[in-house]
Amino acid sequence: MIRHNSQPHFPTQNYLNRELGLLAFNRRVLAQAEDERVPLLERLRFLCIVSSNLDEFFEIRMAGLKEQVRAKARIITTDGKTAQEAYRLVSAEAHAIVTEQYKHLNDIILPALAEEGIRFLRRSKWNEAQREWIRQYFIREMVPVLTPIGLDPSHPFPKVLNKSLNFAIELEGKDAFGRSSNAAIVQAPRVLPRVIQLPEELAGCAYGFVFLSSILHEFVGELFTGMTVLGCYQFRATRNSDLFVDEEEVTNLRTKLQGELPHRHFGDAVRLEIAENCSPAMTDFLLTQFGLAHSDLYRVEGPVNLVRLMQVPDWVDRPDMKFSPFVPGLPKAVGKGANIFDSIRRNDILLHHPYQSFAPVIEFLNQAANDPQVVAIKMTVYRTGTDSVLMQSLIRAAQSGKEVTVVVELMARFDEEANISWATKLEEVGAHVVYGVVGYKTHAKALLIVRREDSGLVRYAHLGTGNYHPRTARLYSDFGLMTCNEEITNDVSEVFKQLTGLGKARTLKHLWQAPFTLQPNVVAGIRAEADTARAGGKGRVVAKMNSLVEPEVINALYEASQAGVSIDLMIRGVCALRPGVPGLSDNIRVRSIIGRFLEHHRIFYFYAGGKENVYLSSADWMERNFFKRIELAFPILDPKLKKRVITEGLKFYLADNQQGWDMNGAGAYQRRRSARAKPHNAQGELMITLGGG
């Protein structure tokens, strides 16, 4: 494995903490839920997204911090903090976000929904008819699948699944066998919905909902006949979900991973969420059972899992309370009935998702699978979904006798099971399935098609900044390039040769590839701008990505700023660089765009003396992307398409004063607003410019 030590050479106070940066991003998402300009049901959805993001944060980032604290690790982070110091700061901020989140839910969102006839009915307000309907639901739908577990010497505390909904019951009295137990656990099966909709005539409003937790609280006594229920408290444990598989020590990665996946549900607990009304005695009991401290406790006023409310906006037919429907545009070159290969031969094709449809990518692979002139298809798969039409096309291509090679990344976090399933199905029809290179995740997004034409074998490629996932392509901003440029397709072919075979890496003509040339070329591009600025010329760097944390790149940006290079960075999530610090980063501006769609494309722009070099990439500027993954950055060579990327991917976003947040040197963000300037909303303007109407 290639080793690289990327160390900061500026004082540690010039770098920001990664975990705190992630939480700062979630504060910006929470601000969307608090923004009255956002439709009400979408505000509820943003509130749920914060919970979903925090779940993964605890499962991965907080779990890693806690492991370092437990091991008394002496590791000092880039920003100069010990694990213990970082944990205290991160824990305090996470608690503050959760408190604000639930306060906004209870004080603003739920009352506003109620005014619109969308009510979550509290059990204290149920009338007799509602109570009887809900009781019958409990008996009919819930009792048959609930398994109450009394805690006594023969029934120890049960194994609690990661992020599952559970109820701790305090009891008094004796059961049918004369046993005395003062506690029981009821686990809510995942087959049960967490929100139940009442008939409109019974609810007394257009949309009346009841939480599963409310139903169990009301009727839990029926599960413990003859005993007295003193208290019923919902709780939820979040566990370490980072899989540990030593890839260099296993002979069959897929088999080993299949064995490890079940353990993800029972990793070490890292967070305990409990209801506000949970008694001190039960709270201490649960913390002890999960081996957690009070700093790991999150006491909430409401459902312990807001993610389950994500479906509510879909159930409510109120278009006036949601984002307006959007139909992606379809470029003429790849319109209905177009032969994609003919179109690509005429000109490179650039697709800007979600403003332009992902359908041409699906059709590209579909036509390749059906075309008798296509002899081979090669593709990387990182995330693609459980019902992928792209994978079905690959299966059909293999069944028809084409050479199909798929590089499946088994270690794509939280998509491991889906990828294992597709790998198995592809192998069954004779496709060549490989799992990349041991020790490196294959994160590049590449599709290569080899077609026999009059001139001989011709290669066609699709390269993208996002996953081959039709659903996320409707929600994430990404670019995709279709080309038959011989030099680029030769590079792509060489990359696939590396991934499936053995041998030394050859020099690629156009593509920058991690872990070999991507980081050095990014640094070289920044330093070239600095050299130009020192010589009195114009130095300019603009970059857009999800995260910026790699110290050597940050150092190069600091040095370029000091040389006079004008630098604009659009970082959606974590940025460890401090912008606007006198004498260090005066010429660097950092902003974050948070809106209807998830900003996901990575764009690297270097002025290069007026040549304007533009690269699109699958990689963020992070150590893991540069040195622990197979990643690609590809140039936009066609002048018209380059202009499009600069305009649509950079200029629109730099002008945004509606959804943009400016970051200061302390790592704090302030929403960009200008009363005098013309309003600019990048996502809204791109929907108008590129959408299908």
What the block records as the tokens of 682 is 């990048």
**Residue 357: DSSP 8-state:** -
pLDDT in tens, 452-467: 999 999 999 999 999 9
Average pLDDT over the chain, rounded to whole? Answer: 90
User: Per CATH, the architecture of 513-690 is what?
Assistant: 2-Layer Sandwich (3.30)
Q: According to CATH, where is 3.30.870.10 located in the chain?
A: 332-504, 513-690
Q: 608 with 531: CB under 8 angstroms?
A: no
pLDDT score of 3 more than 60:
no
pLDDT in tens, 35-73: 999 999 999 999 999 999 999 999 989 998 998 888 887
What the block records as the tokens of 307 is 């993610």
Residues sharing a CB contact under 8 Å with residue 453, sequence separation 6 or more, in sequence order? 373
Q: Can you tell me the distance from the alpha carbon of 339 to that of 358, in angstroms, rounded to the nearest whole number? A: 16
Catalytic hit among 217, 353, 443, 462:
443
**Residues written for the chain:** 693
Q: Return the higher-pLDDT residue of 267 and 259.
A: 267
pLDDT of the residue at 693: 66
pLDDT of the residue at 528: 98
DSSP 221-285: GGGSTTSEEEEEEEEEEEE-------GGG-S-HHHHHHHHGGGGGGS-EEEEEEETT--HHHHHH
Q: 255 with 303: CB under 8 angstroms?
A: no
Backbone angles phi, psi at 543, to 5 degrees: -140, 145
Mean pLDDT of the region 511-532? 98
Mean pLDDT of the region 345-361? 97
DSSP 84-152: HHHHHHHHHHHHHHHHHHHHHIIIIIHHHHHHTTEEE--GGG--HHHHHHHHHHIIIIIGGG-EEEE-B
Q: Return the higher-pLDDT residue of 173 and 683.
A: 683
Q: 472 with 371: CB under 8 angstroms?
A: no
Q: Return the higher-pLDDT residue of 83 and 112.
A: 112
Q: Can you tell me the distance from the alpha carbon of 42 to that of 326, in angstroms, rounded to the nearest whole number? A: 14
Strand 476-483, strand 598-599: pairing:
parallel
What the block records as the tokens of 618 is 């699958």
Provide the CATH topology of domain 332-504.
Endonuclease; Chain A (3.30.870)
Mean pLDDT of the region 575-584? 96
pLDDT of the residue at 244: 47
290: buried, middle or exposed (CB in 10 Å: 19+, 13-18, 0-12)? Answer: buried
Q: Categorize the per-residue pLDDT at 259 as very low, low, confident or very high, splitting at 50, 70 and 90.
A: very low
332: buried, middle or exposed (CB in 10 Å: 19+, 13-18, 0-12)? Answer: exposed
pLDDT of the residue at 253: 44
pLDDT score of 257 more than 80:
no
Q: What residues form the annotated binding site?
A: 53, 383, 413, 476, 572, 600
Strand 228-239, strand 166-172: pairing:
antiparallel
- Of the given ranges (78-87, 615-624, 653-662), which has the lowest mean pLDDT? 78-87
Q: Categorize the per-residue pLDDT at 10 as very low, low, confident or very high, splitting at 50, 70 and 90.
A: confident
Q: Categorize the per-residue pLDDT at 648 as very low, low, confident or very high, splitting at 50, 70 and 90.
A: very high
Question: Which one, of 454, 455, 459, 514, lies nearest residue 484 by Cα?
Answer: 459
pLDDT in tens, 285-305: 999 999 999 999 999 999 999
Q: Can you tell me the distance from the alpha carbon of 95 to that of 28, in angstroms, rounded to the nearest whole number? A: 16
Q: Can you tell me the distance from the alpha carbon of 467 to that of 476, in angstroms, rounded to the nearest whole number? A: 10
Strand 207-211, strand 598-599: pairing:
unpaired
pLDDT of the residue at 245: 42
Cα dihedral 230, 234, 240, 245 in deg (nearest 10)? 100
pLDDT of the residue at 419: 67
Mean pLDDT of the region 155-179? 82
Q: Can you tell me the distance from the alpha carbon of 76 to that of 577, in angstroms, rounded to the nearest whole number? A: 17
Question: Which one, of 435, 60, 59, lies nearest residue 247 by Cα?
Answer: 435
Residues sharing a CB contact under 8 Å with residue 667, sequence separation 6 or more, in sequence order? 16, 17, 20, 21, 24, 575, 578
Question: Which one, of 508, 543, 547, lies nearest residue 525 by Cα?
Answer: 543
pLDDT of the residue at 412: 47
Active site residue 265: no
pLDDT in tens, 530-574: 999 999 999 999 999 999 999 999 999 999 999 999 999 999 999
Q: Categorize the per-residue pLDDT at 502 as very low, low, confident or very high, splitting at 50, 70 and 90.
A: confident
Q: Which CATH class is domain 132-321?
A: alpha beta
End-to-end CA gap in the chain: 50
- Global pTM reads 0.92
Tell me how crowded residue 634 is: count the other CB atoms within 10 A of its CB: 29
Q: 605 with 451: CB under 8 angstroms?
A: no
Q: According to CATH, where is 3.30.1840.10 located in the chain?
A: 132-321
pLDDT score of 482 more than 70:
yes
